[in-house]
Each structure stands twice: as structure tokens, then as C-alpha cells.
């Protein structure tokens, strides 16, 4: 069994501790103990104070058996020197920090090639400073078996990782280009993307499924979704694309943001954002998670877009005024830190409550765009065309016609024109 002992410097922040336990469990650990030290900054040598390290060693030894391995999970980001000092002092235990824990979960859930590469990249970038420290520490005597690479010489292992990083970055670039091409096509077709964003497990995929009629995997676990998915649907007659995204998390390490940038980029490109919030949680938890979301927005450069705050899971709260009060606080927090137009709606994605209201709110934000189609139509077919048009010129019994259409009419007009043996010369966005 994978046993875990958690080390935290924020014992008073109950939500964060609870979240770390949930993350550990999602990664497949059984949390057997917790060591807490209330301090503002980590100790520069060991993360926790020297006395606490001794206590940690004692606790860890208590749980190690022939069958059971113990991993120490540090709630924070370990500096290489802290990592090495802990390895030296604690001996034969696994030591991971928050980044590595999140990456372990990502690894478990990664389905697509892109997600797998992104995770490997984040992982390698995370261990590079550790390897550098390892190189430095060689003077003090090598640490055999570290990261399973005992048989490699440290320097060649370092070079191997560097080469692998370069290779993955090239591969990701190719996938990114492909993604950009698809995005451009969507733009050209006048399709608007609505990105569903929010903290992990807020109910994004559940809402995505309701809005698009999909049956994408949802789950109690954290980070069920790792690859973004796009599906079209109609909002009051307007065709839009909904985008389900990877969940955000508090204290997101920069390595993860960088590695997942191309998927997060889709959010930057969306026209409207739906921010899903689990309104059944405590006030303090909702606000803590909000801060995580805002931090991620800042890092990826999201600003100015209309955003609909969707207070989800209302079925779990008995008192409606409590829901409204919490949602108001979220609105207040966002209106001071986010610069786009905001609106709030209340839903239960699971029970399909409030969905029509959400759709109506969405429709307010989606403005129809106008396209101009230029086509040639044989003179003897002209009478078949029902849509209004301007006859620009006539040449050799061919009529050059210009149509002005709204984006949601595009598809039907194109098929109508095809039936009239028309040849489309150009489709251009007017506004
Ligand atoms: N009671 C209740 N549960 C909900 C509601 N919406 C979602 N859930 C549950 O919340 C959990 C997480 O739902 P998901 O849709 O997977 O959440 P997500 O935001 O996509 O999560 P990640 O992809 O992991 O970031 C699941 O157990 C859902 O059944 C709701 O309206 N009411
Ligand atoms: Mg999801």
C-alpha cells in the first residue's frame, strides 16, 4: 500500500489541508499522518524546522513495513537543497512536493498524446534544478539510486533530460500548430467559443455535458479532465462551441502552467467565459479557490472577456439566501480583480436546474456577426434563391450575387446556394 505522511506549514488553512489530502488520495495514497508546523516561510535547509524533521523521521519509521512504502508529501514547493537534506536525513522514503503530487494525478488521467507530453515536460522541468543540485553535491559523495538513475553518470543523465525536453517541446509545437489551424478555421466560420472554466471538481464537465448533450467522463476525483474538448450547440438559435477545460488549482506551479499553456491558450481565445463555482462549499473555501482562478487568469493573460459566474450545485444548499450571499461575495471579489463584464446565474448541472436561465444570459453576451457571401449563380437558377441578395453584375448568363447573412444563417444559405448550382467565390466577415 502507498502510505503518505503530509507535511504542512499552513495547518490553520483547513481547506488547503483538506485539499492536499484529497489530492493525495486521488493520486492513490492513503494518508496515515500529518505533521504541521505553523510558520510563515519554509526553513531554508529542511522546509520544516530541524526539530520537526526528527519528529517526521520518527513518524515515518513507525509506518514503514516490509510491504508498505511511505512517501512524505510536502505542501509547498521544495527547493533542491531542502529536498536533498530531507533525503539524507529521512533515508529510504519517497519525498514529493505539491507539484509532483499534481503531476502524479495528471499522469493517471492523461488520455491524449498531448496531455502525456505536457506532463512529461512539466516533470522533467521540475527535476532539472534537482539534478543540478545533484551535480553540485557530487563533491560531497554521490547519492546512489536517486530518481532511479544510479547507473547513469550524473552529467550524462542531465544531458539526456535536456535532449528529451527539447524533443518534447518540438512535438508539442507541432500539436500546437495543428490546434491553431483548427482555431483559425473556427474563426473563419464565425463560430464563437464559450470556455467553461473553474476550479477542479466544480462541475465543469457536468455542465458541458448538459449544454452540449455529450457524455464526457465526470468524477468525484480531482482533475478528471485533462484534455480540453470542444462541442457545438445552439444557444437561442446561434451556433456556438463549448470548450471544457482542465481545472484550475490554488498555488499552481509555473511548470504546470507552462506545460499546459497550449490547452489554456484556448481559454484566452474564447469569446465568453463560464466560470463554474461549487456554491455548496464554505465561504472561505469558495474565496480561496476564486483566488486560485484569478491567479491563473493573470498568468495566462485572460482579461476583458464577458464572464458568467455560474453558482453550481445549488441542490446541495437548502437556504437560497445563503447561495445568493456567497455568489455576491464571488462577484465582489471578481469585480475588483477582473476587468470584463460579469453576470451571475444559479444552476444545478447535475439536476439540470437553471440551465435555460444560463442559456438566456449567454445569449445576451453573444452578439451575432455578419458575413458577406459573394457567389455566381446561373441566370436560369436565380429564381430558386429565397434569401435576399444584391445583383452586382451579370456576365455570360452568370449572375454575381452578394448576400449579407448572420453567422447562424451561414450554413443554411450555403446549402441553399449549393442546391442552386451556385459557385461561392468568397465568404468574408463584415462585422
Ligand atoms: N450535487 C451536485 N453534484 C454535482 C453537480 N455538478 C457536478 N457535480 C458533481 O461534482 C463532481 C465533479 O464534477 P465534474 O463535472 O467532473 O467536475 P469538473 O469541474 O469537470 O472536474 P475536473 O475535470 O476534475 O476539474 C462529480 O461528482 C459530479 O457528479 C451539481 O449540480 N450538484
Ligand atoms: Mg472535468
CB 359 within 8 A of CB 349: no
- Please indicate, yes or no, whether residues 244 and 342 belong to a single structural domain of this protein: yes
Shared domain check, 341 and 228 = yes
**Structure confidence at residue 401 (pLDDT):** 95
In a domain? residue 312 = yes
**Domain span at 252:** 191-365
Same domain, 320 and 208: yes
Task: Answer yes or no: is 8 within a domain.
Answer: yes
402 and 314 fall within a common domain: no
252 and 358 in a single domain? The answer is yes
C-alpha 415 to ligand 1 mean position (Å): 39
Q: Residue 150 above 70 pLDDT? A: no
Residue 145 has pLDDT above 60, yes or no: no
pLDDT at 139: 55
**What share of the chain has pLDDT > 90, as a percent?**
39
Pocket test for ligand 1, best of 209, 219, 292, 353 (most atoms within 8 A of CB): 219
Residues 160 and 195 both lie in one domain: no
**Residues 202 and 351 placed together within one structural domain of the fold:** yes
First to last CA, the chain: 61
Let me know if residue 97 belongs to a domain.
yes
Same domain, 358 and 375: no
Q: Looking at residue 183, what is its pLDDT?
A: 79
* 263 within 8 A of 271, measured Cβ to Cβ: no
DSSP three-state, residue 183? helix
Both 262 and 398 in one domain: the answer is no
Q: Is residue 146 part of a domain?
A: yes
Q: What's the structural domain count of the chain?
A: 4
Interhelix angle 261-269/113-137, rounded to 10 degrees, is 130
pLDDT digits 0-9 by tens, 12-56:
888 889 889 999 998 899 999 999 998 889 999 999 999 999 999
**Residue 161 sits in the same domain as residue 278:** no
Residue 7 lies in a domain: yes
CATH code of 212's domain: 3.40.50.300
Asked if residue 99 and residue 15 are part of one domain, the reply reads: yes
Same domain, 349 and 374: no
pLDDT, the chain, mean: 85
Q: Identify the residues whose C-beta falls under 6 Å from ligand 1.
A: 198, 200-206, 218-220, 222-225, 247, 312-313, 315-316, 348-350
Rounded distance between C-alpha atoms, residue 287 and residue 225, angstroms: 22
Among 237-246, 307-316, 366-375, top mean pLDDT goes to: 307-316
In a domain, residue 321? The reply is: yes
Amino acid at each position: 500500500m502507498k502510505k503518505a505522511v503530509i507535511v504542512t506549514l499552513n495547518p490553520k488553512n483547513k481547506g488547503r489541508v483538506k485539499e492536499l489530502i484529497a489530492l493525495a488520495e486521488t493520486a492513490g495514497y492513503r494518508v496515515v499522518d500529518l505533521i504541521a508546523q505553523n510558520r510563515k516561510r519554509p526553513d531554508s535547509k529542511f522546509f520544516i524546522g530541524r526539530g520537526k524533521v526528527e519528529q517526521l523521521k520518527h513518524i515515518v519509521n513507525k509506518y514503514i513495513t516490509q510491504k508498505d512504502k511511505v512517501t512524505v508529501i510536502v505542501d509547498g514547493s521544495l527547493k533542491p537543497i531542502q529536498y536533498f537534506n530531507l533525503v539524507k536525513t529521512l533515508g529510504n522514503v519517497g519525498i514529493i512536493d505539491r507539484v509532483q503530487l499534481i503531476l502524479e494525478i495528471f499522469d493517471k488521467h492523461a488520455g491524449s498524446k498531448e496531455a502525456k507530453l505536457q506532463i512529461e515536460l512539466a516533470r522533467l522541468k521540475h527535476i532539472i534544478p534537482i539534478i543540478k543540485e545533484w551535480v553540485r553535491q557530487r563533491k560531497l559523495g554521490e547519492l546512489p539510486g536517486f530518481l532511479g538513475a544510479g547507473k547513469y553518470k550524473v552529467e550524462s543523465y542531465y544531458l539526456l533530460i535536456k535532449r528529451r525536453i527539447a524533443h518534447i517541446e518540438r512535438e508539442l509545437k507541432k500539436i500546437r500548430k495543428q490546434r491553431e489551424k483548427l482555431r483559425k478555421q473556427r474563426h473563419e466560420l464565425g463560430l464563437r467559443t464559450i470556455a467553461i472554466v473553474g476550479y477542479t471538481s466544480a462541475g465543469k464537465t457536468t455542465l458541458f455535458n448538459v449544454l452540449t448533450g455529450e457524455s464526457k467522463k465526470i468524477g468525484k476525483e480531482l482533475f478528471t479532465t485533462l484534455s480540453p474538448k470542444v462541442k457545438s450547440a445552439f444557444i437561442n438559435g446561434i451556433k456556438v462551441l463549448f470548450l471544457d477545460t482542465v481545472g484550475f488549482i490554488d498555488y499552481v506551479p509555473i511548470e504546470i502552467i507552462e506545460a499546459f499553456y497550449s490547452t489554456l491558450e484556448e481559454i484566452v481565445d474564447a469569446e465568453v467565459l463560464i466560470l463554474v463555482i461549487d456554491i455548496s462549499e464554505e465561504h472561505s473555501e469558495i474565496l480561496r479557490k476564486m483566488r486560485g482562478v484569478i491567479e491563473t487568469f493573470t498568468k495566462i493573460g485572460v482579461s476583458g472577456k464577458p464572464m458568467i459566474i455560474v453558482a453550481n450545485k445549488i441542490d446541495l444548499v437548502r437556504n437560497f439566501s445563503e447561495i445568493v450571499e456567497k455568489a455576491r461575495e464571488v462577484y465582489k471579489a471578481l469585480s475588483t480583480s477582473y476587468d470584463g463584464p460579469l453576470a451571475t446565474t444559479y444552476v444545478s448541472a447535475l439536476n439540470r436546474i437553471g440551465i435555460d436561465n444560463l442559456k438566456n444570459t449567454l445569449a445576451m453576451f453573444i452578439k451575432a456577426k455578419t458575413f458577406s457571401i459573394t457567389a455566381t449563380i446561373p441566370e436560369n437558377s436565380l429564381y430558386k434563391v429565397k434569401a435576399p441578395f444584391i445583383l452586382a453584375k451579370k456576365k455570360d448568363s452568370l449572375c454575381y450575387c452578394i448576400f449579407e447573412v448572420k453567422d447562424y444563417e451561414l450554413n443554411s444559405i450555403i446549402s441553399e446556394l449549393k442546391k442552386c448550382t451556385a459557385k461561392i467565390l468568397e465568404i468574408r466577415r463584415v462585422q
